[in-house]
Every structure is written in structure tokens, then in C-alpha cells.
Amino acid sequence: MFGNNNVMSYSQGDMELNCPQPMVAVSGAFKRYTSKSPILLRGFSMTVPTGAIYGLLGPSGCGKTTLLNCIVGNRRLDSGRVSLAINKRKDLGYMPQEVALNEEFTIEETFFFYGRLFDMSRAHVKARMKELLTFFDLPSEGFIGELSGGQQRRVSFAVALLHNPRLLILDEPTVGVDPVLCSRIWDALVKMAFEEKKTIIITTHYIEEARQCQLIGLMRGGVLLAEEPPLTLMASHNCNTLEQVFLELSQKQHEATNKSSEDLIESDIDYKKLTNQYFQPPLISSQIWKKSRFSAQLFKNVVWMKRNLPIMMFLLFLPFLLFTIYCSVFGKTPTGLSLGIVSEELGSMKDCQVNSSDQFFNYTDFNCYFDGPLSCLYLERLKEHDFNLIEFSKLETAQTALARNKVWGLLHFTSNYTVAVLERIDFGFDTAASVVRDGTVDVRLDMSDHVIGTSLQRIILNTYNDFIGEVYEACGSIAEAGKIPIKYHDAIYGGNEPLFSYTTLPGYLMSFSFYLPMLFTSGAIMLEKLSGLMERKMIAGMTMLEIVTAHAVVQIFILFCQTGIIFYTAYGIFDNPVEGDLYLLILLTFVNEISGMCYGFMLSEIYDSDTNCSYAGTGTVLGLFMTTGTLWPMEGAHPIMRSVMWFLPVNAAAISYHSIALRGYGISSPIVYNGFLSTLAWSAFFAIGAIVINKIRNGVR
């Protein structure tokens, strides 16, 4: 077919253009994308005879590509009808305006991918590939992304011819093609139409190139200006070139529409009436699942992963990095804090040489006295908590340091502190107010940081409680007599001194296990949509179910790896507590990741821009991150917000995770199984939402 380069031409009598059953018939077509967007097709009608080359000519934006998308069934007309003489996708060959090929594929992998879509045998694909590569003067090896722009378009053209279709639709096939090769391509197209009775619809910017078509349609503003053989058009308008004919017809249309705006208004009114009708688009796949198409998409996804190892390594390394940072930094008790000390009963803190409490304590049955200031003993107990104690000689100087954030807190001891403490023990209820005042440690704190401030309050108070107990015990009483009369028993859950990171880990883990699958899934789908791969595959017959399932298989594999890395990091390396069933936690995390994946699919249906999709996903997760108890418990939220937060995605899963990990609850607990049910419900909601949005926005898709 491609070996003969002899020029072939047709006269009008070489082909009967008025076939009983045209290959393509479009009648009364109206199309706009939104209620506010311009009307792209205004009652457009065209007829393409079987075995003819039909040249569709028109300026950019006139609706050519939209019309072709409606013909191949990728878009649904708002009104009108499209009839095709074929009823199988494999009888259609389509070359879009963009290249729409996988840049990570080699030329051979590209042919085998589309061969699988059309259920061709490997031997058949190999034979056709050899023939097409020779004709299009293409190398047999090399990646698509490494080819020149012209070579990529020739590969795209060859893919459209791979399965030998009866109807061939080519959108700008000769752009950037060498003139010699362009001539060969036109010779081959003419031969296919004449000898093999193939029907070819071709759009081109090179209007004179369309002289070789048997029929041309001149299109402007969504309207067909003329539909005749090129020689007939030029003769009837007394023009030497098709460009002159097009210019003359365009000027007449422009003058006609400018006479009155009522025509446009009437057109819009008619449009509104007609859009209430429903028209079945052509070539809707009756078989929504086919193994060969699914395996082709799965093959494509696996190859993409192999060719993008840095991205895959990043996706797998990111959980380890995130949870290493979290477990190393977040939620620990603050240490190394500076405390200012003003002790008027000490000459200097260097005078405090306390190795044990025994050298300080001497007591009788009724009275006790000490060999050194009691403030020394208290300060030694504070040093056990890794405080950096800074001594100041004057209270005013220390307060200035506190105001300038050189210290986080300030402790002031009076000159009579030790005597006053002992008198309080001796006199009990009869203690004078001045003695109480002198025996009190004045504490001033910088509470600008809530976590540090509350940690200081707790440590200073607990340390003082232990210190005063020692003093009472040294004075012949029991330690509890001097302590605050509140006794804490061992905690039911979480330990007596839990870290804040233990509490916030469930929310953090659930938030990121939702975010990472969403990020990868939406990114992968948007990549295919924006490059034109999605539309080309679906025009070839692949269904959304096959695409989503193949992506889900790859994503689930990645999820297994990410889940393993997350749990190994959080519980293997950093030994966070797990009171319940670890496998139940893994299952809950995996279900939450599935929910994130479904959300990614829905976002990719909502947005046509990868930037907007990324913003929406990141914004959502940030909102969830703030409502899962990671930053602050939900019980501290506003009552109205608190009632809403329980129903948001991830929240119920985070609460369930918390109860399993820190309370040891099982699946029989309502808190636990509600987390599973909520996550599954959101997964179903996102999946159904993606399907509904797909139907609303794209019709046939």
C-alpha cells in the first residue's frame, strides 16, 4: 500500500459522491461547553461519502476539532445528529491535533500499546509497524520524547493507520512534515480512498493542499459555508485558488451577520429550545470491559513507573521522610529551657553543693533545721529536668531578661525563704501572712508559647511537690502531708506521662495516608488528560472503568509499599505505643488510602487544570489536618464546628485509629467500626461523584 509513490489524481467522475449511505452524516448540530461560552456549532450539517477524502477547512476556533470530537463520540452534541456507517471502534482511526503519545514509550512500545487496544496479535502489530516505519521514514528505535516534533506527528499518524480502519479522521496531519514526505502521504491517502474505499476526513491549515480532496467543507463560526468538490467551488466563484473562494464566502457571511443582531439572538433562542432534546452519540462502546484494553493500560502504567524511577522513589521515600521528621521533632517534651533564678538567701548558686538531701537535713521530734538554704535543694531537683538555670542578682534584671525572651521563666526566692518554710511547718494554722509570703516561690512565665508555658507550669509544680514532700519527711512527718492533697493513680490508657506525639500521631498518619494517594492518583490522571492521551485512548475504545481499574492496580501496589514504610518508621524505628491489634491499624490505614485514591479520581474529573487540581487537593488535606485532632483536640473546637467535624473525611478514621492504638479497642467497638464504615462511605461517595461528574461534564465519557 505504501510502496507506490506514483502521483494519483481524481476527477469528479472517478467517484460517485452521492452514495446511498454516506460514511458520516451530521445534521443540525449545535454545541457549546457551558451556558456562558460561545456557541461552537450552529446548526452545522455535513455529508461525507464512503470512499472519499473530505477536507474540512476553517480558521482556528471555528469548531473543527469540536466537530471531530462529536463525530468520534468523545463529546455529545447538545442538539443534532451524527450518523456513521461503521459501528465498531476498530473501524475508526483518529489522529488528534496534539501528538497525544506517551513520551516515556519507545516507538515499538507505542505500536504494541495501541495494537493491544485494537486486539491485534503481536505478529500482526510487528508486520504493520515495519511497513509504517518504512513509509513514514521513522527510526525503529528511540523514545517518543527524544524524537523531533515532526517525527512525533508522523508516529501519531502511523498509529492512526495501524489497525487499518475504514474511517480515518486526521486533524492537521501534515503540520511540520517535510514537503517530499507530505506528497507521499497525500498519494497514499488518495490510494487508500480509491483502491480500499477508505473514508478520510482531514483538517489542514494548508488550504491549497485540500485540492486533492474529492469534497471539501468550508467552515466558519460553527457554520458550513460550502460543501463541494474543490474544482467546482473555484469554478462557481470564478476563483483560481481555494483561498480566494474561502475569503469570498467568509466576507459574505460576515456581511450577512452584521446586518442585524436579531439573527444571532434568534439563533440563541433556537439553541435553547433544541438543547432540551437528547441525541444518542455514535460509537458508544457496548463492552465496558475487555481484557486486552485493560492489559494495555496496565502495561502503560508499569512502563511509566519504570521510566520515572526518581518520581517513584520520591513517592516511596516521602512517607519515611515525613514520619521520621514527625517522630523526631513533633510532640516531645521541651528540654534545655532557660530559667532565671533570683535567690536572695544565696550569695551565689555556686554555694549550693547538694549531693544528697541527708547533709541538709537535721531534725528532732518537734523541730527541724537545715545546714543550707532550701532553695538549693529545689534548684537541684529542677536541674534533673534539663533546665538551663541562669542566676540574676536583682529581680528587676531578671524581669528584663524575661521580657526580652532570654529566659522562659523566672523563680524568685526571698532572703528568708528557708526559715519561712520551716515556720509554716511548725506553726501550721497559726502561720503569719508575712511568713506565708516569704515562704512562697514567686514564678513568672512567658506564656506566649502555650506548649512551653504549660510544660513549665507542670514541671515547676510537680518538682515543688516532690521537694516539699522531702522537707516534710526530713522534719519527721510523712511526705504526703506537705504535698497537694490530690493523688493521681496509674492512667487507664496512655501511660502516666504520655508524649503529645502519641496523641497526635493518629491524625497525622491518617491525614497523610489520605493525601499521598490523592496526590499521585490525581496527578497521573491529569497528566493523561492534559497530554491528550486520555481522549485518544477512549476514542480507540478504552473505557473509563478500564483506565481507573488499571490505575487502581498500580496505586494499590504503591499503597502497600507506602503503608509498610509508614508503619515500619512509626512503630519499628521510633517505637510508638500500640495497645491494640497492629494488623487492624494497617487495614484501617489501607482503607483510608483507598478513600484518598477515590478522592483523587474525583478531583481529576472536576478540574481541567493540574494546578487547580493540586490546589484543591492540598487545600482539602490542610483543612482535614486541622480538624483531625492533630493540631488540637476536637473537643476544643467551637460547638458548631465540633458537630460538623465528626462527619468530615478522615476524622472518624483518626478517632478509630486513636482508640485502637492507645486504648486497645477491637473491631467490635462502635468507635472502631464507625471509623471503617465512615471511610468506606466516603470512598463510595468520591467514586460515585467521579462517575456522575464525568457523565455531566463529558457526556460520552
Contact predicate 298/550, CB 8 Å: yes
Reply yes or no on whether the pLDDT at 183 is more than 60.
yes
Q: Is 265 exposed, middle or buried (0-12, 13-18, 19+ CB in 10 A)?
A: exposed
N-to-C CA span, the chain: 35
* Distances from the Cα of 66 to the Cα of 63, 69, 77, 433, 569, angstroms: 5, 5, 10, 91, 51
Average the pLDDT over 351-369 and give the result.
Answer: 51
pLDDT digits (tens, 9 = 90+) for 308-325: 999 889 888 899 999 999
pLDDT at residue 16, as a whole number? 43
Distance CA 611, CA 613 (A): 5
Contact predicate 83/35, CB 8 Å: no
Predicted confidence band at 683 (pLDDT cuts at 50, 70, 90)?
very high
Average the pLDDT over 537-548 and give the result.
Answer: 88
pLDDT at residue 342, as a whole number? 94
85: nearest Cα among 21, 34, 129, 135: 21
* Distances from the Cα of 438 to the Cα of 39, 344, 433, 435, angstroms: 88, 11, 9, 5
Number of H helices, E strands in the chain: 23, 15
One-letter identity of residue 316: L
Residue 409's H or E segment, with its range, is strand 409-413
Contact predicate 181/136, CB 8 Å: yes
193: nearest Cα among 48, 71, 88, 82: 48
Comparing 67-81, 435-449, 657-671, the range with the smallest average pLDDT is: 67-81
pLDDT at residue 353, as a whole number? 63
541: nearest Cα among 287, 214, 260, 272: 287
Distance CA 397, CA 392 (A): 7
Most confident of the ranges 201-210, 290-299, 486-495: 290-299
Our measurement of the distance from residue 510's CA atom to the centroid of its chain's CA atoms, rounded to an integer in Å, reads 16
Cell of 129: 509497524
115: nearest Cα among 300, 288, 287: 300
Distance CA 190, CA 192 (A): 5
Average the pLDDT over 508-524 and give the result.
Answer: 91
pLDDT at residue 698, as a whole number? 60
Average the pLDDT over 217-224 and give the result.
Answer: 89
Radius of gyration of the chain (CA): 39
Mean pLDDT across the chain: 85
Residue 226's H or E segment, with its range, is strand 223-228
Q: What is the DSSP string of 192-213?
A: HHHHS--EEEEE-S-GGGGGGS
Cell of 629: 485532632
pLDDT at residue 263, as a whole number? 47
pLDDT at residue 330, as a whole number? 82
Reply yes or no on whether the pLDDT at 529 is more than 70.
yes
What is Dmax (Cα atoms) for the chain? Answer: 132
pLDDT at residue 554, as a whole number? 93
pLDDT at residue 659, as a whole number? 94
Quick one: DSSP state of residue 162?
T
3-state secondary structure 622-675: HHHHHHCCCCCCHHHCCHHHHHHHCCCCCHHHHHHHHHHHHHCCCCCCHHHHHH
Our measurement of the distance from residue 181's CA atom to the centroid of its chain's CA atoms, rounded to an integer in Å, reads 43
Distance CA 543, CA 545 (A): 5
Average the pLDDT over 342-366 and give the result.
Answer: 62
Buried b (16+ CB within 10 A) or exposed e, 318-337: ebbebbeebbeeebeeeeeb
| Alpha helices by DSSP H, 87-204 | 107-117, 122-135, 149-161, 179-195
Q: Which residue ranges make up each domain of the chain?
A: 22-272, 294-329+499-700, 338-481
Distance CA 624, CA 314 (A): 23
CA 314, 316, 319, 324 dihedral sign is negative
pLDDT digits (tens, 9 = 90+) for 467-497: 998 888 888 888 888 888 888 888 888 877 7
pLDDT digits (tens, 9 = 90+) for 90-129: 899 999 888 899 999 999 999 999 999 988 999 999 999 9
675: nearest Cα among 604, 550, 589: 589
Reply yes or no on whether the pLDDT at 357 is more than 60.
no
Residue 442's H or E segment, with its range, is strand 442-445
Residue 282's H or E segment, with its range, is none
Predicted confidence band at 550 (pLDDT cuts at 50, 70, 90)?
very high
CATH topology of domain 22-272: Rossmann fold (3.40.50)
pLDDT at residue 365, as a whole number? 40
Share of the chain above pLDDT 70, in %: 90
Cell of 482: 506537705
Reply yes or no on whether the pLDDT at 331 is more than 60.
yes
pLDDT digits (tens, 9 = 90+) for 259-271: 544 444 444 545 5
Average the pLDDT over 562-566 and give the result.
Answer: 92
pLDDT at residue 270, as a whole number? 56
pLDDT at residue 17, as a whole number? 45
Reply yes or no on whether the pLDDT at 3 is more than 60.
no
Query: Between β-strands 53-57 and 215-220, what pairing exists: parallel, antiparallel or unpaired?
Result: parallel
pLDDT digits (tens, 9 = 90+) for 374-429: 888 899 889 888 899 999 999 999 999 999 999 999 999 999 998 899 888 888 88
Predicted confidence band at 280 (pLDDT cuts at 50, 70, 90)?
low
Go through the chain and tell me how many residues it has: 701
Average the pLDDT over 584-599 and give the result.
Answer: 95
Share of the chain above pLDDT 90, in %: 41
Query: Between β-strands 368-370 and 361-363, what pairing exists: parallel, antiparallel or unpaired?
Result: antiparallel
Q: Which residue has the cell 460538623?
A: 644
pLDDT at residue 20, as a whole number? 53
Distance CA 206, CA 403 (A): 77
Our measurement of the distance from residue 311's CA atom to the centroid of its chain's CA atoms, rounded to an integer in Å, reads 14
pLDDT digits (tens, 9 = 90+) for 50-74: 999 999 988 888 888 889 988 888 8
Residue 646 vs residue 377, higher pLDDT:
377
**Domains 22-272 and 338-481 fall in the same CATH topology:** no
Residue 595's H or E segment, with its range, is helix 582-606
Q: Which residue has the cell 512551653?
A: 452
pLDDT at residue 180, as a whole number? 83
Considering only the top CATH level, what class is 338-481?
Answer: alpha beta
Contact predicate 396/425, CB 8 Å: no
Query: Between β-strands 223-228 and 215-220, what pairing exists: parallel, antiparallel or unpaired?
Result: antiparallel
